[in-house]
Amino acid sequence: GQNIDQPTEMTATEGAIVQINCTYQTSGFNGLFWYQQHAGEAPTFLSYNVLDGLEEKGRFSSFLSRSKGYSYLLLKELQMKDSASYLCAGLDSNYQLIWGAGTKLIIKP
Amino acid sequence: GAVVSQHPSWVICKSGTSVKIECRSLDFQATTMFWYRQFPKQSLMLMATSNEGSKATYEQGVEKDKFLINHASLTLSTLTVTSAHPEDSSFYICSATVGAGEVNEQFFGPGTRLTVL
């Protein structure tokens, strides 16, 4: 079956760095997405990885290892507004997104 | 960036009534639109995929006669929850993509929160 695993909740301090991990099992693989979702709002796109390695975009970076079925989202210089759920989603061979349950990130002052 | 709107944002209805939710791509033509449902503290659950001019493809366990999807144009898809019941109360989100058969970012609408009394 297809599955996306990520931690349910994480806590970090303002100004610090946090890494949110995601492991995936999909039927075929056409890339991995990270989305940010604030409570009561729709998800917003953060990143897309299809090749191994690290993609950096400002304070956010995303890493992919296809051989390990593993990705992480790295958030630097955390701000209070980064408190949100972060959704990992894999794109399978049918180009369908398989969603994780999301990681709720709590930022403390 | 591409903008997707949904209407209404909030809806409260009585049990047994039908509710229509609209999803519009405002500045692009969407080849494919997706309808998701999200219960509290859970991830997005894909309900159906719709392509303009053809019947929607429903995910397993989603009743197509209860959740009617119409994708009449490249910029509009509607989801009608027929004979709604309290267990249908949820956050309904649509998304749209451009292109088919390739990797595309999904642009999400703001969501519609449905409460069935």
Q: Tell me the pLDDT tens digit for each residue of B66-109.
A: 999 998 888 999 999 999 999 999 999 999 987 655 566 788 89
Q: What is the mean pLDDT of residues A46-73?
A: 95
Q: How far is B15 from chain A (nearest CA, A)?
A: 23
Q: Residue A22: is its pLDDT beyond 60?
A: yes
Burial annotation A45-81 (CB, 10 A radius, 16+ → b, else e): ebbbbeeeeeeeeeebbbbbeeeebebbbebeebeee
Instruction: Work out whether strand B112-116 and strand B10-13 pair parallel, antiparallel, or are unpaired.
Output: parallel
Q: Report yes or no: B10 at the A interface, CB cutoff 8 Å.
A: no
Chain-wide mean pLDDT for chain B? 89
Measured at the CA of B55, the angle between CA B53 and CA B60, to 5 degrees, comes to 150
Among B25, B35, B44, the strongest candidate for a mutation testing the A interface, having the largest count of A CBs within 10 A, is B44
Q: How far is B69 from chain A (nearest CA, A)?
A: 18
pLDDT of B104 reads 64
The DSSP symbol for A83 reads -
Distance (Å, rounded) from C-alpha B113 to C-alpha B102?
Answer: 31
Enter the tokens of residue B97. Answer: 């993509």
Give me the residues of B, 17-56, that contact A with CB < 8 A: 42-46, 49
CB contact under 8 A, B110 and A41: yes
Distance (Å, rounded) from C-alpha B60 to C-alpha A85?
Answer: 26
Residue B101: its chain A contacts at CB < 8 A?
95
Q: What is the mean pLDDT of residues A53-68?
A: 95
Q: What is the mean pLDDT of residues A78-103?
A: 90
Q: Which residue of A has its CA nearest to B111?
A: A42
Of the ranges A13-22, A70-79, B85-94, B101-110, which one carries the lowest mean pLDDT score?
B101-110
The DSSP symbol for B74 reads T
CB of A19 closer than 8 Å to CB of A1: no
Instruction: Work out whether strand B57-58 and strand B19-25 pair parallel, antiparallel, or are unpaired.
Output: unpaired
CB contact under 8 A, A50 and B103: yes
Distance (Å, rounded) from C-alpha B16 to C-alpha B19?
Answer: 10
Nearest Cβ partner for A42 among B45, B104, B110: B110
Q: Report yes or no: B103 at the A interface, CB cutoff 8 Å.
A: yes
Nearest Cβ partner for A99 among B44, B109, B110: B44
The DSSP symbol for B59 reads P
CB of B34 closer than 8 Å to CB of B106: yes
Q: What is the mean pLDDT of residues B3-29?
A: 93
CB contact under 8 A, B110 and A95: no
Residue A2: its chain B contacts at CB < 8 A?
none
Distance (Å, rounded) from C-alpha B10 to C-alpha B21?
Answer: 10
3-state SS class at B44: coil
One-letter amino acid for residue B103 of the chain: V
pLDDT of A24 reads 95
